[in-house]
Amino acid sequence: MTAAMRIAPRTGAAFTLNTGDILTVIDPEGMQVSDLLAFARNDVREAISNGRTFDYEETIRLTTGNILWSNRSKPLLEIIADSVGVHDFLLTPCSIDTFRHFYPDKPEHRGCFGNLAEALAPFGIAPDALPCAFNLFMNVPVASSSGAVTVLPPLSKGGDFIRLRALTDLVVGLTACSAYASNGGTFKPIDYVVDRHGPDQGSRP
């Protein structure tokens, strides 16, 4: 098993996956969101798409067995294990504008958006090309009658994880989210492990 990499609180990272690689994202302390973006490595204009994914998977509650699709209707990632089962794919990455909107009395922060933009820039991905992220462990219930969305603390506990298989060669961006409401008011790290064609699918990290 490859050693886990740590994303410090309120920061981000980017890395590549080859087809068949297994990415495990772990919430080591619990109640911490991680925004995930994925782009096709051979043409980064092809990116993860929440709309395509909701359409083809016929749900907004994505978990084990679901595929994450691209804007060009190609499968990018498959969720192969998930110890939480509650993630969000509706809301955009938190950004400096999010902080100005929701937390005008708090210090400004560039948020997941700024962290992703910096981490993905070396791969030729510009800020305006960042789509809605798959927000791991983020708890955003939708009221069935009104459609109202609320951001509640994640249901993840320390050691919870989600595991995804790359279905094509990818550039991936990943954060430890910076927004207060998403994380229960405190900021914690996120760990991840990449198994290159890992043989131990489905086991705990």
CB of 111 to Zn ion, least distance (A): 5
Handedness of CA 163, 13, 140, 40 (dihedral sign): negative
- Beta-bridge partner residues of 166: 77
Whole-number minimum distance, CB 114 to Zn ion, in Å?
10
Q: How far is the CB of 127 from Zn ion (least distance, A)?
A: 15
Dist CA 97 CA 198 (whole Å): 39
List of residues contacting Zn ion (CB under 5 A):
94, 112, 177, 179
Phi, psi of 122 (to 5 degrees): -60, -15
In whole angstroms, what is the distance from residue 158 CA to residue 168 CA? Answer: 30
Q: How far apart are CA 117 and CA 129, in angstroms?
A: 9
- Shortest Cβ 85–Zn ion spacing (Å): 20
Question: Taking the complex as a whole, how short is the minimal distance between the CB of residue 177 and Zn ion, in angstroms?
Answer: 3
Our CB check for Zn ion shows the closer of 40 and 47 to be 47
Which of 197, 189, 196, 195 is CA-nearest to residue 6? Answer: 189
Calpha distance 52→68 (Å, rounded) = 8
